[in-house]
Structure 1
Amino acid sequence: MLEIPHVYHLALAEQWDPTATEPYTESTIGRTLEDEGFIHLSLARQVQGVADAFYAGRNVVILRIDPAKVGARVEFEEVPEAGDAFPHLYGPIPRDAIVSATPVPFGSDGRHDFSGLLPDPI
């Protein structure tokens, strides 16, 4: 498996069930792993841009994931519109791979405020 730091996934708060035990399979807003073929992930430096572009005004939970525990392939794939390569997980997220799941507050500017939620530099 590829040696990478923790990866992150933004989950809609209304869809996140902290008591669930089955693997997490939501890929992105309105699409599952089955629909998309992979689960969208981000590095810490990419999270704010993803939140701004796709989750503005929505209540989200940030999932911090240990890629060594996912058991499926993580590939970095170029997203031309973003000018960056994003990690994609080609399988479900086992619950034991989720290091933390934290609701993300909004800052005074109305954007998601990840201060203190991302241990890696953004």
Structure 2
Amino acid sequence: MNQLIYHITSLAEWDYAQSIGVYQPKGFVIEQFIHCSYLDQLLTVADHFFRGQNSLVILVVEPSKIDSDLVEENLEGGTELYPHLYGLLPCTAVKKALAFPCNADGSFTLPEELKV
């Protein structure tokens, strides 16, 4: 898996991760993996799980810098596959963190940097 993957999180969680060198989302202890997306899945995920939330960032992740298992799967029974990271995310694998504010109606628009 060589293409970049993406993860949406709060700015506070990302700031904390940077202070310790590794990112672990709140639900990791229960789920044991980190939900990620490909670029074309980002807006669907954002609108479904983060609608109306502010102070978010998109982590742009370089899979080649991850030692843990990265598995493409759909755990909800659908056919679209999402990358799931079965381990913690080292901050060194994050190429950049992009501000991801919601629009006035609560929906999201990709940051200019990610538009193709």
Smaller-chain TM-score range?
0.7 to 0.9
Q: For structure 2, list consecutive stretches of 5 or more residues without a partner in the other structure.
A: none
Between the aligned partners of 1:12 and 1:37, the Cα distance in structure 2 is: 19
Q: How does 1:1-12 map to 2 (within 5 A)?
A: 3-12=1-10
1:97 paired residue among 70, 75, 93 = 93
Give the TM-score taking structure 1 as reference length: 0.81
Partner SS for 2:110: coil
Partner residue, 1:31: 27
Q: How big is the shift at 1:112?
A: 1.6
* Partner deviation per Cα, 1:43-98 (whole Å, 9 max, x = no partner): 00111000000000112110000000011110100244554110000111101000
CA RMSD of aligned residues (A): 2.0
Displacement after TM superposition at 1:10 (Å): 0.3
Q: Spell out the pairing of 1:1-122 with structure 2 (5 A cutoff).
A: 3-17=1-15, 19-26=18-25, 30-32=26-28, 34-59=29-54, 60-80=56-76, 82-118=78-114, 121=116
Distance in 1 (alpha carbons) for counterparts of 2:72 and 2:78: 13
* Matched AA of 2:13: Q
Looking at secondary structure, tell me which structure has more helix per residue. Answer: 2
Q: Distance in 2 between matches of 1:86 and 1:106?
A: 22
> 1:12, 1:58 within 8 Å by CA — same for their partners in 2?
no
Q: State the secondary structure of the residue aligned to 1:15.
A: helix
1:56 partner amino acid: R
Give the match's secondary structure for 2:48: helix
